[in-house]
Structures are given as structure tokens and as C-alpha cells.
Amino acid sequence: CGSRRGRPSDTTMQTLNDREVLVAQPIQELGSFTAPSSLEADQYRMLRHAVERLRHESGCQVFGITSAGAGDGKTVTTLNLAGAIAQSSGTRVLVVCADLHRETVTQYLGLPNFRGPGLADVIVNDGYGLDDVVRRIARFNVSILPAGNVTSRPYELLASPRFGEIVAEARRRFDYVLIDTPPVAPLADCRLLGRAVDGFIVVVAADKTPRKLLGEALALLDLSKVLGVVFNGDPQPLSPYYGYYAHHSNSVPLTRK
């Protein structure tokens, strides 16, 4: 997508039909991108199936992916889910980095030097639209809206009515909008997003996320919007049948409410 600020000189891009397209090199943990035929990627296809069913049965389209605390794998889960959904040809998928405290979406996609405008810029500058800030990764059929240049307090940015307008526009233009949110417990930001999303998927890190912290996080969210929980990093196989195909796997089981 075109940008009024021009192309960042330190990011690899190629021009396709007069629109800028990012050339990404995802990290290994993004199996939906790097190894879509793997058993690990199959677990994200299970999550994709649940999300697609929610869209078809309940009209859910905008999903917030969050966690109780930092480091539980919410961004990796967001991107792997996006990659799994985007395997369906013609499906339009947008990943929004709403964690304005820490931009990791571009890092995990192999774009550590990306300095273009993003979510923060389109919130504070009415002259920007989605076409100015969304970047498409054509190879993987995924678009991203990075955090951008955060010069104001993240809470104030997400509290702005402009944020809701941006999400509403994204809803009209994409089939699925996946919002990588800040963690719930240590920050108030995620609670603001409840007004814009259709529901939350909560990522829990196996053998890491304290039960008490998870309870506190769920208490802070509107439980009617908690769609389910992703149990991330469980070394145990999903069933005896799974062991037939792999002796070891960093699988990502899904538990839905």
C-alpha cells in the first residue's frame, strides 16, 4: 500500500501493481508461514477452524488475541492464526499490532528495521487512511498494520474514537481482523479494546502462566467476549493418535469455552 511518507530506505520492498509489498522472512516459530504442512501448523488450523466457525455462525470478524502477562506467546499465536486463515485463497486477513508498548509483529516477520507509519500515526493524523499504513505480504496473503511511530501514551491512543473508526474500516475491507493486544493484567490498554473487538482469544503459556494471574486477567475482561483459550507450548501430545505421527512436538492445543 502507498505511503505519503515514501518507502522506508531500510526495509526490503518490491513494487507490485503500484502498491508496496513487504518481503518478509518469518522466524521459525511461525510454522503457518515457514512450514505450513507441518504437524505444528495443523494445530493452528484447528484454531482457524474454530475462528471460521465463529464467523459463520455468530458473525465474529474482529478478534483480539491477548494473554494474562507478557511472554506467553500471544503475538506468535496471532501471526500463526493469520497465516493459517490466509491459506484459504481469496480470504483477506489483517493483523493489527495494538501493543503500542512493544512492537513485535514486524520483528517476528523478519522486518526488524521497519520504520514506516502505522496504527499510532493513523490515529493522531486524520490525513492518514488504511491505504497509507497497511502493508501487504503477498507471498503469504496477509496484510499487517504495524504499531507505527508511537509519540503519545498508548492508553490515550487506544481510547481515542479514531481507533474505533479504524477498526470499523478494517472490518469493511477485510474478512478477518486479528488484533495483537497488550497483555491484560499489567496494562489497562487491552480493556479498552473490548469495545472494538467481537471477542478475545486468551493465550496461556503451559507451565508458565500463573493460575492467579490468569484469574485476574479473566476478571478484568468482559467474560461474554472471551471466546476461548489457547494453551500454548504444551509438550504433551493431543491424543495417542498424535504420537503416531510425531515423537516430539511443540504443539499448541486449543481449549474453547
Report which secondary-structure segment, H or E, holds 229.
Answer: strand 226-232
H helices, E strands: number in the chain = 11, 10
Dihedral sign, Cα of residue 53, residue 234, residue 26, residue 111: positive
Is the per-residue pLDDT at 17 higher than 50? no
- Per-residue pLDDT of 149-179, as tens digits, reads 988 899 999 999 999 999 999 999 999 999 9
Q: Which of 105, 118, 57 has its CA nearest to residue 256?
A: 57
For residue 15, which amino acid is it? T
Task: Specify the pLDDT at position 234.
Answer: 65
Flag the least confident range among 9-13, 32-36, 37-41, 117-121: 9-13
- β-strand 199-205 against 62-67: which pairing, if any? parallel
Dihedral sign, Cα of residue 104, residue 109, residue 112, residue 114: negative
Query: Which set of grid coordinates corresponds to residue 135?
Result: 502493508
Is the per-residue pLDDT at 237 higher than 60? no
- Per-residue pLDDT of 89-133, as tens digits, reads 889 999 999 999 888 898 899 886 777 899 999 999 988 899 999
Higher per-residue pLDDT: 128 or 255: 128
